[in-house]
Structure 1
Amino acid sequence: MGDLAMDEDRPFTPSFALCNPDPNSIRTETWVLAEDPVRDVLNCIHPTLDSDEKRKDVIEHVQMLIRCNLRLEVFPYGSVPLKTYLPDGDIDLTVLSTPNVDELLPREVLRVLQEEEQNGNSEYEVKDTQFIDAEVILVDRLVGKDHLFKRSIILIKAWCYYESRVLGAHHGLISTYALETLVLYIFHVFHASLNGPLQVLYRFLDYYSKFDWDNYIITEIPENQGTDVLLSGEFRRNCMDMFIVPSKGLETDLRAFAQKHLNIIDPLKENNNLGRSEIIFGYGVHLD
Structure 2
Amino acid sequence: MDELKNIVIYECLPIWITYLPDGDIDLTTLSCPSVEDAWVSDVHAVLREEEHNEAARFEVKDIHCIDAEVKLVKCIVQNIVVDISFNQLGGLCMLCFLEQVDRLVGKDHLFKRSIILIKAWCYYESCILGAHHGLLSTYALETLVLYIFHQFHSSLNAPLAVLYRFLDYFSRFDWESYCISLSGPVCKSSLPDIVAEVQENGGDDLLLSEEFVRNCAEMFSVSPKGSETNS
Q: TM-score range by the shorter chain?
A: 0.5 to 0.7
Amino acid at match of 1:248: K
Q: How many residue pairs are counted as aligned between the two chains? A: 181
TM-score by length of 1: 0.55
| Alignment pair present for 1:203 and 2:137 | no
Distance 1:108 1:236, change over 3 A: farther
Q: Residue 204 of structure 1: CA displacement?
A: 0.8
Q: 1:229 aligns with which of 190, 206, 214?
A: 206
Amino acid at match of 2:46: V
Q: Residue 72 of structure 1: CA displacement?
A: 6.1
Q: How does 1:236-247 map to 2 (within 5 A)?
A: 236-247=213-224
Within 2, Cα distance between the matches of 1:231 and 1:104?
A: 42
State the partner residue of 1:184: 146
| Alignment pair present for 1:115 and 2:49 | yes
State the partner residue of 2:175: 213
Amino acid at match of 1:233: E
Within 2, Cα distance between the matches of 1:167 and 1:147?
A: 22
Q: Choose between structure 1 and 2: higher strand proportion.
A: 2
Within 2, Cα distance between the matches of 1:238 and 1:104?
A: 36
Q: Residue 74 of structure 1: CA displacement?
A: 6.1
For residues 109-166 of structure 1, give each alpha carbon's deviation from its aligned partner in whole angstroms, at most 9, with x where no partner exists: 2232222222222100111122344586211111111211111111101101111111
TM-score by length of 2: 0.68
Q: Residue 75 of structure 1: CA displacement?
A: 5.9
Q: Residue 181 of structure 1: CA displacement?
A: 1.4
Amino acid at match of 1:244: S
Q: 2:113 aligns with which of 123, 133, 151?
A: 151
Gaps of 5+ in 1: 1-66, 251-288
Q: Which has the higher contact order (CA 8 A, sep 6+)?
A: 1
| Alignment pair present for 1:92 and 2:46 | no
Within 1, Cα distance between the matches of 2:130 and 2:216?
A: 26
For residues 56-108 of structure 1, give each alpha carbon's deviation from its aligned partner in whole angstroms, at most 9, with x where no partner exists: xxxxxxxxxxx8244764669xxx93122222233222212123223543343
CA contact (8 A) 1:72 1:97 kept: no
Within 1, Cα distance between the matches of 2:173 and 2:16?
A: 28
Distance 1:176 1:69, change over 3 A: same
Distance 1:125 1:71, change over 3 A: closer
Within 2, Cα distance between the matches of 1:226 and 1:189?
A: 8
CA contact (8 A) 1:155 1:201 kept: yes
Distance 1:75 1:93, change over 3 A: farther
What percent identity do the matched residue pairs reach?
A: 62
Distance 1:127 1:71, change over 3 A: closer
| Alignment pair present for 1:166 and 2:128 | yes
Distance 1:111 1:74, change over 3 A: farther
For residues 163-185 of structure 1, give each alpha carbon's deviation from its aligned partner in whole angstroms, at most 9, with x where no partner exists: 11111122222121221111111
Amino acid at match of 1:158: A
- Moved segments of 4+, more than 6 Å: none
Amino acid at match of 1:231: L
CA contact (8 A) 1:113 1:129 kept: yes
Gaps of 5+ in 2: 71-87, 92-97, 184-195
Distance 1:162 1:169, change over 3 A: same
Distance 1:149 1:122, change over 3 A: same
CA contact (8 A) 1:187 1:230 kept: yes
Amino acid at match of 1:199: A
Instruction: Give RMSD over aligned pairs.
Output: 2.8
The more displaced of 96-105 and 142-151 is 96-105
CA contact (8 A) 1:74 1:93 kept: no
CA contact (8 A) 1:72 1:96 kept: no
